[in-house]
Amino acid sequence: MCFLETGFHQTGVRDIAARAGVSLGNLYNHFPGKHDVLLEIARLERQELDPFIALLEKDGPAPKRFGKFVGVYAKYLAAPENVILTIEITSEAIRKDDLGELFWKNRAALVAALTRLLQRGVENGDFNLPTSPEEAAHMVLELIEGRAYHSVLGEAKMRKLLPGLKAFLSAAIGAKAR
Partner DNA sequence: TATGAATGAGGCTTCATTCAT
Partner DNA sequence: TATGAATGAAGCCTCATTCAT
Q: Which of 118, 132, 122, 119 is nearest to 69 (CA)?
A: 118
Q: What torsion, rounded to 10 degrees, do the Cα atoms 111, 112, 116, 117 define?
A: -40
Residue 55 lies near a copy of itself (rule: CB under 8 A): no
User: Which of a copy of itself, DNA, none lies near 12, with the C-beta cut-off 5 to 8 A by kind?
Assistant: DNA
Residue 22 lies near DNA (rule: CB under 7 A): yes
56 vs 165, which CB is nearer to a copy of itself? Answer: 165
DSSP secondary structure code for residue 159 in this structure: H
Inter-CA distances, 136 with 10, 31, 128, 130, Å = 37, 38, 11, 8
For residues 135 and 118, give the distance between their C-alpha atoms in angstroms, rounded to a whole number: 10
Given candidates 1, 4, 28, 145, which one binds DNA under the rule CB under 7 A? 28
User: Which of a copy of itself, DNA, none lies near 61, with the C-beta cut-off 5 to 8 A by kind?
Assistant: none
Is the four-CA dihedral 128, 130, 131, 134 of positive or negative sign?
A: negative
Q: What part of residues 58-97 is at the interface with a copy of itself (CB under 8 A)?
A: 84, 87-88, 90-91, 93-95
List residues binding a copy of itself (CB under 8 A): 6-7, 9-10, 84, 87-88, 90-91, 93-95, 100, 103-104, 128, 130-132, 135-136, 138-139, 141-143, 145-147, 149-150, 153-154, 161, 163-165, 167-174
